[in-house]
Amino acid sequence: MNALLEALALQSLKPFISALLLPPIPFLILLSLAALLLWRKHAAGWLLVLFSATGLWLSQSEAAGQGLARLLLPPQPALDVDALAALSKDTQSRKTLSIAVLGAGTQPYAPEYGVANLSAHSLERLRYGLWLGKRLGAPVGFSGGLAQGASDDDTPEALVAQRIASQEFGRSLQWVDPYAKDTHENALRSLVLLREAGVRKVIVVTHGWHMPRALKAFQALAGNEIEIVAAPMGMGVSAKVSSQRWLPSAQGGQTVRLVLKEWMGSLSGA
């Protein structure tokens, strides 16, 4: 799908296509169809009403979102003490490795700062990437350009991250890719830069729910030349599912949409 949109120069439509495919739009369409069937006194209308109402409820439920995540986005384990120790030895033995932090969007203008700011997810990734870099003594880079539909006057995400890393964390990014527009381009452009630098191991930093798609893209493009290590973060989800988590909530709706968006992105190769 992603390649088809690129070939037809229709990449700007990706946000609209995603919005149409994600809840609640499909269920609202089904409810409209149910209303038409009921108006024509068709019994199937009631089945559609029941299905759509159930779908709308579950699509706003945190419990359903977590269940979908386990089903559609197989989790990668976080780097534990042993994994960090092994990676630290690679750094000490002068094996060439680098940390690649993947962007998750920006706020084009944050009035409280007077400049562009990273989104909450992007800032979380940058923070963990810089923490890893300090822990391992490894260089850190950031990949992220302008989002689809962004103004040419907006600041590319990687440059925003570069400023924040320097001014707020007191750390310099070794490299930046300010052109990538999606996960596939994150991998493609980052690996071009890192191959030229002689890097042989890349630690990919992103959220746990985004890691399956990111890992798939990096491994496909790295081949046998570069080893890819997953460093997922933001995975602190309780194993317990209380009855309240089945109730509709803003967080539940966000989780379901996030999981489905990642799953569709992985299928489309974006």
pLDDT in tens, 65-91: 989 998 999 888 999 999 999 999 887
Mean pLDDT across 135-149: 92
User: What value does the mean pLDDT of the chain take?
Assistant: 89
Contact 266, 216 (CB under 8 A): yes
Lowest mean pLDDT among 12-26, 183-197, 212-226: 12-26
pLDDT category, 61, cuts 50, 70, 90? Answer: very high
Mean pLDDT across 41-56: 88
Please say if the pLDDT value at position 2 is more than 80.
no
> For residue 233, which of 143, 115, 99, 62 has the smallest C-alpha distance?
99
Of 5-14, 38-47, 256-265, which one has max mean pLDDT?
A: 256-265
Which residues does residue 102 pair with via DSSP β-bridges, in sequence order?
Answer: 143
Task: List the domain boundaries for the chain.
Answer: 2-73+247-268, 81-233
pLDDT in tens, 148-161: 777 878 999 999 99
Whether domain 81-233 has CATH 3.40.50.620: yes
pLDDT of residue 26: 84
pLDDT of residue 237: 57
Beta strand 140-143 with 97-102 is parallel
Spatial distance between the Cα atoms of 137 and 131, rounded to a whole number of angstroms: 10
Please say if the pLDDT value at position 167 is more than 90.
yes
Spatial distance between the Cα atoms of 171 and 150, rounded to a whole number of angstroms: 28
**pTM, entire model:** 0.84
Return the exposure string of 164-174: e unless at least 16 CB atoms fall within 10 Å of the residue's CB, then b. Answer: bbeeeeebebb
Question: Roughly what angle, to the nearest 10 degrees, separates helices 120-136 and 81-92?
Answer: 60
pLDDT category, 239, cuts 50, 70, 90? Answer: low
Take residue 119 and report the two structure tokens written for it.
């989104």
Amino acid at 86: A
Cβ neighbors of 140 (< 8 A, separation 6 or more) are: 98, 99, 101, 129, 130, 132, 133, 165, 171, 173, 174
Spatial distance between the Cα atoms of 265 and 259, rounded to a whole number of angstroms: 10
**Could you tell me where the DSSP H helices lie in the chain?**
2-7, 14-21, 25-39, 44-58, 62-72, 81-92, 120-136, 157-168, 183-196, 211-222, 250-268
